[in-house]
Amino acid sequence: MIYLATTEEQAIAAINAAEAMALSNIQLLREMKSLLPSFARPLVEPAIRTNEESVRLVARAERGAVRKTSAATRRSRKNLSKALREANARLRKKNGQLKKGKTQADVMRLAQRLKKKM
């Protein structure tokens, strides 16, 4: 069985990747601080810390904003998947081509009708 990540998992993974990249950029700034003149170095660390905290805060807020798919939506998607299988079986030949005069739009219309009956 192939496991596909849900939309929520993909969104959270993208947020985590963006946070990691921002934090690595901040770390790079810390390492480059030694290249600055000595009078400017004490001013840089508070700015870097503030930036680091804001990156973490934004990432936490974004992760919290990701909504889980509702049970009704999951059920509806599952039913549409079953209906599409049935509609394709009815409107296609054994070799996989659509029957004469039928289009993909006909397949979707039939699937929606079948889903409504489920």
Check residues 33 and 117 and name the one with the higher pLDDT.
117
Please write the tens of the pLDDT for every residue from 50-79. 999 999 999 999 888 888 888 898 899 999
For residues 74 and 14, the answer to whether their CB atoms sit within 8 Å is: no
pTM of the entire predicted model? 0.53
Q: CA-to-CA distance for 118 and 115, rounded, in angstroms?
A: 5
